[in-house]
Chains A and B, each alone.
Chain A
Amino acid sequence: MDRSPLMRLENINMVFKKPGSLLKDRNIHVLKDINLDIYEGEIVAIVGESGCGKTTLGKIITGLIRPTSGNVYFNGNKVSGVFSKDISSYNQVQFIQQDSYAALNPVRTIYQSLYAPIKTSNRKLKTKEIDDKINELMALVGLLPAEQYLSKYPHQLSGGQRQRILMARAISLNPRLIVADEPVSMIDVSLRLSLLNLMKELNKKLNMSFVYISHDLSTTRYIARNGRVCVMYLGEIVEMGNIGDVIETPRHPYTRALIQAVPVPDPEYHGNDDLPLKSMQLGTLEDRGDGCSFIERCLYSCDKCKQKIEHVTTDTAQVLCCNLENVPKQSVYSLKGKKK
Chain B
Amino acid sequence: MDKIKNFFKRTLSVLKDFGYSLLKGIKKIFSNKKTVTGAVIIVIYVLIAIFGPLIFPYSTETNLKDKYLSPSLAHPFGTDWLGRDVFRQVIDGTGNVLEIAFYSALITVVVGTVFGIVSGYIGGWVDRVIMSVTNIFLSIPSFPVYLLLAALVVIETPISLALMISIFSWAGLCRAIRVQVMSLKERDFIQICKVMHMSKAHIIFKELLPNVFSYIAINFVMAMRNAIVASVGIMLVGLAAYDPTNWGAIMNAARTKGLVNPNNVRILLYPLVAIVIFQVATLMLANGLDETLNPRLKVM
Q: Measured between C-beta atoms, what is the minimum distance from A327 to chain B in Å?
A: 39
Residues of chain B within 8 A (CB-CB) of A151 are 17
Report chain A residues within 8 Å CB of B132: none
Q: Which residue of chain B has the shortest Cβ distance to A97 in the bound complex? A: B188
- Fill in one digit per residue for A75-104: 1 if any B CB lies within 8 Å of its CB, else 0: 000000011000000110111010100111
User: Chain A: which residue is nearest B209 at the CB level?
Assistant: A107
A298 to B95, CA, bound (A): 79
User: Which chain B residue shows the least CB distance to A117?
Assistant: B196
* Binding site secondary structure of chain B: helix
From the candidates B191, B198, B213, name the one contacting A117 in the complex (CB within 8 A). Answer: B198
User: Does A120 touch B at the CB level, under 8 Å?
Assistant: yes
Residues B195 and A90 in contact, CB atoms below 8 Å apart: no
Q: State whether A106 touches B211 (Cβ < 8 A).
A: yes
A121 close to chain B: CB less than 8 A? yes
Q: How close is B209's CB to chain A, nearest CB, in angstroms?
A: 9
Q: Does B194 contact A (CB under 8 A)?
A: yes
Residue-wise interface mask of B (188-206) relative to A, using a CB-CB cutoff of 8 A (1 in contact, 0 not): 1101101111110010001
A64 within 8 A of partner (CB): yes
- Which A residues lie within 8 Å of B191 (CB)? 64, 95, 97
**Residue in contact with B196 in the complex, picked from A105, A106, A120, CB distance below 8 Å:** A120
Q: Please determine whether B189 and A104 come into contact, CB atoms closer than 8 angstroms.
A: yes
Tally of B interface residues using CB under 8 Å = 18
| CB of A62 closer than 8 Å to a CB of B | yes
Q: How far is the CA of A108 from the CA of B206 in the complex (A)?
A: 9
Number of interface residues of A (CB under 8 A): 27
| Complex Cα gap A306–B188 (Å) | 39
Q: Are B202 and A116 in contact (CB under 8 A)?
A: yes
From B187, B207, B213, A108 is in contact (CB under 8 Å) with B207
Residue contact A120 to B199, C-beta cutoff 8 Å = yes
A143 interface contact, C-beta 8 A:
no
Q: Is B210 part of the contact surface with A, judged by Cβ < 8 Å?
A: yes
Is A196's beta carbon under 8 Å from chain B? no
The listed residue with most A CB atoms (<10 A of its CB), out of B187, B194, B197, is: B197
Q: Are B196 and A108 in contact (CB under 8 A)?
A: no
A113 to chain B: closest residue by CB = B189
Residue of A nearest to B17 (CB): A151
A residues near B210, Cβ cutoff 8 Å: 105, 107-108
Chain B residue contacts of A253, Cβ below 8 A: none
* CB-nearest residue of chain A to B191: A64
Q: How far is the CA of A112 from the CA of B202 in the complex (A)?
A: 12
Enumerate B189-245 residues with CB–CB distance to A below 8 Å: 189, 191-192, 194-199, 202, 206-207, 210-211, 213
Cα(A62)–Cα(B191), bound, Å: 10
Instruction: Please tell me if the beta carbons of B196 and A64 are within 8 angstroms of each other in the complex.
Output: no
Tell me which residues across on chain A come within 8 A of B207, comparing CB atoms: 105, 108
Least Cβ–Cβ distance between A81 and chain B, in angstroms: 9
Residue numbers in B under 8 Å from A62 (CB-CB): 195
B189 and A102 within 8 A (CB): yes
Cβ-defined contact, B195 with A63, below 8 A: yes
B-side contacts of A112, CB under 8 Å: 206
Contact A173/B196 with A108-B206, A108-B210 known, Cβ cut-off 8 Å = yes
| Cα distance, A120 to B200, chains bound together (Å) | 12
Find out whether the CB atom of B202 lies under 8 angstroms from the CB atom of A95: no
**Is A91 a contact of B187 with CB atoms below 8 Å?**
no
A275-297 CB contacts (< 8 Å) to partner B: none
Is A120 in contact with B206, judged by CB distance below 8 angstroms?
Answer: no
Are B189's CB and A105's CB within 8 A? yes
- Measured in the bound complex, the distance between the Cα atoms of B180 and A204 in whole Å is 42
Contacts of B192 in A (CB 8 A): 95, 97, 103, 169
Q: Are B194's CB and A64's CB within 8 A?
A: yes
A90-B197 in contact given A104-B189, A151-B17 (Cβ < 8 Å): yes
Residues of chain A whose beta carbon lies under 8 Å from any beta carbon of chain B: 62-64, 82-83, 90-91, 93-95, 97, 99, 102-108, 112, 116-117, 120-121, 151, 169, 173
In order of increasing CB-CB distance, the 9 nearest A-B pairs are A102-B188, A103-B188, A107-B210, A117-B196, A105-B189, A97-B188, A95-B195, A82-B194, A62-B195
Give the A-binding residues of B (Cβ under 8 A).
17, 187-189, 191-192, 194-199, 202, 206-207, 210-211, 213
A–B complex contacts, Cβ < 8 Å, 10 sampled: A82-B195, A83-B194, A97-B188, A99-B188, A103-B189, A106-B211, A107-B210, A116-B198, A120-B197, A169-B192
